[in-house]
Amino acid sequence: MARKIVLILVLTCLCIGLAAADWNILNPIWNINARQDSLKNYCESWRINVELNNIREFDVVPQECVAHIKKYMTSSQYDADCQRAIEEVTLYLSRCCSLKGDGKDAWIFDVDDTLISTIPYFKKHGFGGEKMNSSSLEAWMEESKAPALDHIFKLFHDIKDRGMKIFLVSSRKETLRSPTVDNLINVGYHGWSRLFLRGFEDEYMHVEQYKSQVRKTLMDQGYRIWGIVGDQWSSLKGLPEAKRTFKLPNSIYYMS
């Protein structure tokens, strides 16, 4: 009987030892899983800190995170995050604005990755892992094939129907006016009051400075800017400020 008990104890210790070996830091399988989890955590942390504007003025997405960023920007989670932002805009609109009906109540939208999407372009160009090639991107913009972002489309028309003037403020060059207008109309946007694009005198300004200058021009004309929706911090920051700003996620590129 005693011998049986000893044998059971020995076998039990052996099984425990084998189970423990599965979690040993020297185990290659454990190491692979740990590295994968660590990389995923790192890339998600990088993405979140881009959205928080802690990581700024990056030229490219870290190479090890390109697949992660691509997966997020083409996922249902990206759609859900955008939709949540739109819900906050709608909530704000339901209680914020005492419109005076004098034609001076206004809202600003960015264009790229706010009203229309550049994701089809970046799917073919490294998804942020390549330094942005302005000539290549502008050639794609000239084709007027950017799809509408569905989560913004309804909001755009809702704000317009409330009686606000809509101003589109884009960092695109003035030379892209015709294909930009064609693209917006083709996907169903219409009724905006003015589309601001960067003229020759604006091209060397920082985007934040250029867009702040547009807001100042509008406010000097008496417009009350109730809100801005954009995917870049440079569309939202700077003086004078709108009454509220709402940022959509975009981890592919950073424009300052």
Does residue 169 contact residue 132 with C-beta atoms inside 8 Å?
no
Domain presence at residue 126: yes
CATH of the domain at 206: 3.40.50.1000
Rg (C-alpha) for the chain, rounded Å, is 25
Assess if residue 179 is contained within a domain. Answer: yes
**Contact status, residue 49 vs residue 55, Cβ threshold 8 Å:** yes
Phi, psi dihedral angles at 209 (to 5 degrees): -65, -45
Is residue 7, in this structure, part of any structural domain at all? no
**Considering the domain boundaries, does residue 181 fall inside one?**
yes
Q: Say if 218 falls within a structural domain.
A: yes
| Whole-number pLDDT of residue 100 | 86
Q: Is residue 28 part of a domain?
A: no
* Total number of domains constituting the chain: 1
Q: Enter the DSSP assignment of 17.
A: H
Q: Could you tell me if residue 185 is inside a domain?
A: yes
Q: Identify whether 36 is part of a domain.
A: no
Rounded to whole angstroms, the Cα distance separating 39 from 35 reads 6
> Under 8 Å CB-to-CB from 26, ≥6 apart: which residues?
none
Per-residue pLDDT of the chain (256 residues; tens, 9 = 90+): 444 443 444 444 444 343 333 333 334 333 444 456 799 999 999 999 999 999 999 999 999 999 999 999 999 999 999 999 999 999 999 988 888 889 999 999 999 999 999 999 999 999 999 999 999 999 999 999 999 999 899 999 999 999 999 999 999 999 999 999 999 999 999 999 999 999 988 888 999 999 999 999 999 999 999 999 999 999 999 999 999 999 999 999 999 8
175: containing domain? 58-247
Residues 6 or more apart in contact with residue 28 via CB below 8 angstroms? none
Whole-prediction pTM value? 0.84
